[in-house]
Amino acid sequence: MDLAAQFLKLVSYPTTSDEESATCPSTPGQLTLAKAIVEDMKAMGIADAFVDDHGYVYGTVPATAKAPTIGLIAHMDTSPDAKGEDIRARITEPYEGGDVILNEAQDIRLSPKEYPVLENHLGKHLIVTDGTTLLGADDKAGVAAILACADALLHTDKPHGAVRIGFTPDEEVGRGADLFDVKGFGADYAYTVDGGALGEIEYENFNAAAATVVIHGKSIHPGSARGKMVNAALLAMEFHQLLPVYETPAATDGYEGFYHLTHMAGEVEEAKLSYIIRDHDAEKFQRRCEFFQKAADFLNEKYGAGTAEATVTESYRNMKEKILPHMYIVDAAKAAMEACGVTPKVVPIRGGTDGARLSYEGLPCPNLCTGGENFHGRFEFIPLEDLQKVAEILERIILDAAKPSEV
């Protein structure tokens, strides 16, 4: 398989998910891509490939030996945090240092001064955009690597177990695992391929919730508003100021949690703020959710009942406790990386994956790297060589699982 061509094809489909939509998938472009992927899978020789009514893609690489059935999972949607349509992706010449000019007309540059991680990729071909959209390596790099792995297994004479493939919609809005058919999937364990830099292995993720607060105001002509007007837009600003100022994504790292304001809209009569709440520690996460509600309660006490309506909806939990009894899955990934010349690095996910939810549904599912960098923004990129290495690692995991155990 021409992995580069496959990846460029995948990112050409606009698949931004929409948290405001009640449908699944939340946007029609995801279903369009799902159908195209199924056609590619069938052309490769995955005869049972199909997309269900909700946009989930499934398929199987048949076993040629007795071994565990391993699942490989990635998501097809891209983040709504940046423009995800009309993506103009290209492959650069080997990176030699300095700025990468993404868009000469608009003077948009990918600079190591802003993104020092570039210096880790000297000599590699970078897949970039024109600087006006995200790339979509999160997580179409995962999709591409899984397809390349499947293609390699279908053409090898080396023994391997069955591989179950799953591609999900709406992961970026926290709903990717909602309708995933774990029982029908039938894997003994699985990996999501939805991480970042080459070598990363993740089995600790945030506990996560989506939160909104709707502020109800009272409009009246400004000329006669004294003592009568309640400006919902101003109260929304007051609500946000009640949250800890240094507990935001830009001020935290590692295991530190945060409140992240993702969207705001308002006028005098009504305002709405949307947040995500994150923390690795379950007790701290619970306290964060409670504090969010208390901030709304404070406004209700100050301005009257019904002024602020807060809603907190849990998205997923930290998968660590579900992975620890199955650490051989993580060890297998480490061994495969080392066999492929990659140094494994276990890191906590400052985010989440479908695997977190799936682990709680009985399918242990740590997360593996894609090789991508700077996700969810216009300066997202992925080294082609790293993407190719990820496909190689996936194949090695599957082949190693079929080897006789050493006693």
Q: What's the full length of the chain, in residues? A: 407
Which residue among 130, 139, 171, 202 is the active-site one?
171
The answer for residues whose C-beta is within 8 angstroms of residue 106's C-beta and 6 or more apart is 131, 132
40: which residues sit within 8 A by CB, 6+ positions away?
Answer: 6, 147
Please state the three-class secondary structure of the chain as a single string: CCHHHHHHHHHCCCCECCCCCCCCCCCHHHHHHHHHHHHHHHHHCCCCCEECCCCCEEEEECCCCCCCCEEEEEECCECCCCCCCCCCCEECCCCCCCCEEEECCCCEEECCCCCHHHHHHCCCCEEECCCCCCCCHHHHHHHHHHHHHHHHHHCCCCCCCCEEEEEECCHHHCCCCCCCCHHHHCCCEEEEECCCCCCEEECCCCEEEEEEEEEECECCCHHHCCCCCECHHHHHHHHHHHCCCCCCHHHCCCCCCEEEEEEEEECCCEEEEEEEEEECCHHHHHHHHHHHHHHHHHHHHHHCCCCEEEEEEEEECCCHHHHHHHHHHHHHHHHHHHHCCCCCEECCCCCCCHHHHHHHCCCCCCEECCCCECCCCCCCEEEHHHHHHHHHHHHHHHHHHCCCCCC
Q: Which candidate in 77, 200, 202, 386 is catalytic?
A: 77
Determine phi and psi for 69, rounding to 5 degrees: -85, 120
338 labelled catalytic:
no
- The owner of tokens 């159908």 is 35
Residue pointed to by tokens 């591409």: 144
Active site (annotated) includes residue 301: no
Give the residue numbers annotated as catalytic, written as ranges. 77, 171
